[in-house]
């Protein structure tokens, strides 16, 4: 059904985000916080899926115009109003903390699905086999 395909696409983007987070962490870069900006904030279902899949609370920025606010922060730094972007963000940016919190039961279900996603991700995307090359040749 269309709604199942839609949800699967949302979950796939969340799994991709978790893959990126795990890549950062395996490289020694801790991911301590997820702050959401932009149009994604308008979709509560997507936000809850991200919280459940990543097992992290999601905070949201306090502006509907995140990119414009970011540009204004950088402009303020360039104009000398703030010594650095962190100071500008502290003064100009606001965030609501932990708006979406992971649900333990759903997160556990997503852990099982994510394990399958990783197998498929590695099978198709890590060069474990030639299936993607064969499919590309077939398309051509």
CATH number at residue 36: 3.30.420.40
pLDDT digits (tens, 9 = 90+) for 118-129: 888 777 766 677
pLDDT of residue 127: 65
Q: 86 in a domain, yes or no?
A: no
User: Which tens digit of pLDDT belongs to each residue from 15-45?
Assistant: 999 999 999 999 999 998 899 988 888 999 9
Instruction: Give me the number of domains the chain comprises.
Output: 1
In a domain, 106, yes or no: yes
Better-predicted residue by pLDDT, 124 or 66 = 66
Distance CA 68, CA 6 (A): 29
pTM, whole model, 2 decimals?
0.80
In a domain, residue 83? The reply is: no
* Neighbour tally for 7: CB within 10 Å: 14
Q: Concatenated DSSP letters for 7-68?
A: HHHHHHHHHHHHHHHHHHHHTT-----EEE-GGGGG-HHHHHHHHHHHTS-EEEES-S-HHH
Q: Does 76 fall in a domain? A: no
Bridge partners (DSSP) listed for residue 95? 61
């Amino acid at each position: 059904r269309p709604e199942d395909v839609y949800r699967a696409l949302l979950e796939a983007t969340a799994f991709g985000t978790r893959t990126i987070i795990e890549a950062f962490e395996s490289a020694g870069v801790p991911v301590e916080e997820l702050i959401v900006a932009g149009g994604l904030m308008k979709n509560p279902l997507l936000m809850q899926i991200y919280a459940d899949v990543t097992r992290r609370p999601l905070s949201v920025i306090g502006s509907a115009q995140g990119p414009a606010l970011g540009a204004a922060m950088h402009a303020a730094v360039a104009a000398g109003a703030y010594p650095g972007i962190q100071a500008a963000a502290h003064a100009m940016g606001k965030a609501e903390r932990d708006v979406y919190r992971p649900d333990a039961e759903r997160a556990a279900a997503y852990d099982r699905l994510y394990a399958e996603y990783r197998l498929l991700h590695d099978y198709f995307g890590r060069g474990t086999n030639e299936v993607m090359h064969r499919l590309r040749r077939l398309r051509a």
